[in-house]
Each structure stands twice: as C-alpha cells, then as structure tokens.
C-alpha cells in the first residue's frame, strides 16, 4: 500500500490535485480576477527571512496560547471555508483532526456539515457568519450555533462579490441532478479514488448549506444561500455592533486590512480580529495580510487579539506572522489539501507538518517560547510593509 503520509503541504496539494475532480480542485484554488492577491499572499512570505543563532539555543520550546478564551496547543486555528464535495466527512473530519491536535475549529455557515455535527466532535468550535439575511434570521442562526455548543462567533466582512477569474472558474452545479451527473461524468470518472470515497457512504455530495436552513425548512443549496447573501443590504458598523451584542461572547471580525477599520473593530468591543484578504478570494489587489499586519498590530494589538490568515503553508510562515505581531494564525487551503489527500488523517498530517515547522524555526531562532518572537527576528525587505488606512 502506498504511504499516505506526506512531508509538506505542497505535497498534500499535489495529491489533492491528483485525487479531486477538476471542478472541486478549482473551487479550492479559488482566487479572483487576475490572482494578484492570492499570489501575493504566498510570495510575500518568501520575501521575509530569518536571522538564526547557532549555539546557546533552547532545548525546550513552548508554542501554546489562547484565542477567544480557547486553548491552542499551537498558534494555529482552522479558518472557516465554505466548500463542498472535498471529502464525504467534510468539516466533521476537519473538526476531529483539530480536536486531536488541540486547536479550535472555525466552521463556515456555508459549510457542508451542520454546526451540531461539528461542535459534537470539537468543543472549541467557532461559528462563522456573513451579514446575510435580516436580523431575525441572523439571530436565529447565531442561537442555533450557540445551542450546538459553538464557543465563539466570527463575522467575516471582506467580500465584494467579484466574479471572473482569468484562469477560468470551475462549473459548479446548483445541485447534483441527472443533468449535472452527465455533465460532470467525464472529469469525475477520471478520479476513481474520490468517487469511491463517496460511493462507500452511499451518498453523493448534495451541495447544500445546512447551517443556512430556516427553521423547519430544508437546507438551501450553496447557491441558494449565496443568493440570499447577495440580496442582503450591506451591514453598517452599527449592525456589526448589534451582532456582537446579541452574541455576547467571544467575537471575531475577519477580513480587516486597514488600521482605521481595526480601530472600529476595537470600538465595537470585539475580542479578536483577523488581518485577512479572504485568501485572495475577495477584492483582487488587496495586499497580502502579512504586509498589513504590523501596522494593525502596532495600532490595536494591546486592545484586541490580532490573528492573521492568508498564505500560511509551513510552520516558518506561522513564526514569521507571530514575529510581525499576530497572536496566532488561521489556515484555509493548507488543511483543505490535507483533507482531500487523506481525510481526517491528512488534516492531522498538515497540522503536524506545521507544528514541526514552528518548532524547527523556533529552535533555529533560539526561542523557548512563541512570546519571545519579535520583529527584529525577521529580515524585512525595504518597501515590504503596507500601512493601510493610517491617514
């Protein structure tokens, strides 16, 4: 039998590409327009360097921390992703892997599994919502998540409904009916391992968003939920303050790039914010979060927990983000590649790769605790940083 273990996230991605139907893989690649932001998210980390020590380094290294009142065995959180059809166990497998490795699970309201099923296997589940539907609907979804055991609420604010990718968007059907099966058959039949994994469960991916169901109604399709979101008037800061108040517990605003926005997030009393450009899937040309992070951390880091997501593929990326001011990072595609490559074990494998990389970078830098990391530990090229919204 082939060895299922992989040594890097890049290898997990290669296996995901080999295993997934083209459309499903394309949905995970995502990105928008010209792909400027997705590219910058990755290449910006390559431009940062380390200045390692060679002797006198610490024999022990501590990387645990807390975010939104949750314990993290390492400074990594599962970022919410609303994707379908990657693996039959979907977000439940991801949540189990995260629980086994001692980190919180971010669950998208557009996910393919219910918050009840996910929170049942990870008692550190953070539920993510968009500003979608009227206040009564938002409240009902939030209360459902709370009743299921979600420990925190994450509202994602960066989305501009951009469409069109220069490399082409995958065709994703509204639902899997006969017409869709016939159209997708040529690409799906080329991926027997993926097909078999679903066939074994006796179910085909239904492309629905169970957490977006209205009480007593059946789950809408992914596109049905997306349509509801598109029709919703955009939120004001007062709306977000209302949401935070309704929730009452640990609250994160995800998608901040600018210092002035970060200050408003502090003003509304949030627990955490994520410096993020939605993995480059939003307004193309938004700089990589790692470039915007230091200005945000300098401005509000003592008043709110600052997290970064976008472009994390190795433990050394995590260490760079921490040194530049993040308390922890969230990961998206990295765990999706692991899930596609080898289910729950693949997600655990990705988390182990990151842990090993964090440990190795800390060793090289002579750090015994992640709290010792500072900006001086990083080689930052001139013109690297972007202080947005400071004037």
Pick the closest to residue 24 from 193, 151, 148 (CA basis). 193
SS (H, E, C) 259-290: HHHHHHHHHCCCCEEEEECHHHCCCCCCCCHH
Q: Does 311 bind ligand FMN (CB under 6 A)?
A: yes
Residue 125 lies near ligand FMN (rule: CB under 6 A):
no
Assigned token pair, 176: 């899997």
28 versus 378: smaller Cβ distance to ligand FMN: 28
Cβ proximity to ligand FMN, 198 vs 229, nearer residue: 229
Task: Please identify, using beta-carbon distances, which residue of 61 and 225 lies nearer to ligand FMN.
Answer: 225
Query: Does residue 87 carry a catalytic annotation?
Result: no
Distance (Å, rounded) from C-alpha 322 to C-alpha 312? 12
**109/127 Cα distance (integer angstroms):** 7
Of residues 154-193, those binding ligand FMN (CB under 6 A)? 156
DSSP state string for 99-114 = HHTT--EEEETT-SS-
Considering only 73-81, 201-209, 316-324, 363-371, which stretch makes contact with ligand FMN by CB under 6 A?
73-81
Report the interhelical angle of 9-19 vs 333-365 (nearest 10°).
170
- 279 binding ligand FMN? (CB under 6 A): yes
287 scored as a contact of ligand FMN (CB under 6 A)? no
Q: Binding to ligand FMN by residue 281, rule CB under 6 A? A: yes
Nearer to ligand FMN, 152 or 279 (CB): 279
Burial 225-237 (b: 16+ CB within 10 A, else e): bbebbeeeeebee
CA distance from start to end of the chain: 59
310 binds ligand FMN (CB under 6 A): yes
The H or E element that residue 329 is part of is strand 328-331
CB atoms within 10 A of CB 213: 17
CB within 8 A of 330, min separation 6: which ones? 76, 77, 78, 79, 106, 274, 276, 307, 308, 309, 312
Which x/- pattern, by CB under 6 A, does the window 22-41 give for ligand FMN? Answer: -----xx-x----------x
75 forms part of the interface with ligand FMN (CB under 6 A): no
Nearer to ligand FMN, 61 or 307 (CB): 307
Indicate whether 210 belongs to the interface with ligand FMN (CB under 6 A). Answer: no
For residues 323 to 362, the per-residue mask of contacts with ligand FMN, x marking binding by CB under 6 A and - elsewhere, is --------xxxx----------------------------
Based on CB atoms, which residue is closest to ligand FMN, 79 or 344?
Answer: 79
Distance CA 213, CA 220 (A): 6
Taking the complex as a whole, the smallest distance from the CB of residue 178 to ligand FMN amounts, in Å, to 27
Active-site residue, selected from the candidate residues 165, 278, 313, 386: 278
Q: Which residue ranges make up the site for ligand FMN (CB under 6 A)?
A: 27-28, 30, 41, 79-83, 108, 110, 128, 156, 254, 276, 278-279, 281, 309-312, 331-334
């Amino acid at each position: 039998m082939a060895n299922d273990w992989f040594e890097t996230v890049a290898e997990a991605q290669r296996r995901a590409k080999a295993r997934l139907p083209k459309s499903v893989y394309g949905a995970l690649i995502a990105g928008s327009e010209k792909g400027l932001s997705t590219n910058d998210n990755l290449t910006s980390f390559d431009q940062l360097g380390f200045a390692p020590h060679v002797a006198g380094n610490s024999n022990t290294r501590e990387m645990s921390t807390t975010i939104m009142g949750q314990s993290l065995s390492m400074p990594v959180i599962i970022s919410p992703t609303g994707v379908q059809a990657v693996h039959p166990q979907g977000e439940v497998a991801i949540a189990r892997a995260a629980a086994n490795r001692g980190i919180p699970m971010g669950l998208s309201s557009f996910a393919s599994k219910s918050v009840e099923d996910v929170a049942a296997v990870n008692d550190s589940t953070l539920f993510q919502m968009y500003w979608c539907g009227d206040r009564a609907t938002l409240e009902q979804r939030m209360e459902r998540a709370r009743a299921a055991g979600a420990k925190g609420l994450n509202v994602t604010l960066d989305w501009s409904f951009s469409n069109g990718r220069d490399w082409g968007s995958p065709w994703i059907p509204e639902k899997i009916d006969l017409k869709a099966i016939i159209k997708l058959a040529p690409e799906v039949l080329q991926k027997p391992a993926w097909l078999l994994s679903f066939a074994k469960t006796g179910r085909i991916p239904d492309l629905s968003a169970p957490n977006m169901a209205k009480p007593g109604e059946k789950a809408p399709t992914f596109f049905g939920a997306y349509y509801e979101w598109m029709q919703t008037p955009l939120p004001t800061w007062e709306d977000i303050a209302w949401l935070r108040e309704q929730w009452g517990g640990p609250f994160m605003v995800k998608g901040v790039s600018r210092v002035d926005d970060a200050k408003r997030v502090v003003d509304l009393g949030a627990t955490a914010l994520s410096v993020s450009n939605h993995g480059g899937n939003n307004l193309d040309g938004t700089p990589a979060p790692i470039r915007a992070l230091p200005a945000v951390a300098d401005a509000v880091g003592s008043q709110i927990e600052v997290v970064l997501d976008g472009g994390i593929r190795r433990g050394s990326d995590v260490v760079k983000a921490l040194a530049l001011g993040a308390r922890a990072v969230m990961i998206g595609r990295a765990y999706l590649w692991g899930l596609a490559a080898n289910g729950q074990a693949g997600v655990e494998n990705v988390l182990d790769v990151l842990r090993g990389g964090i440990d190795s970078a800390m060793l090289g830098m002579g750090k015994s605790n992640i709290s010792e990391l500072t900006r001086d530990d990083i080689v930052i090229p001139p013109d690297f940083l972007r202080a947005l919204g400071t004037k």
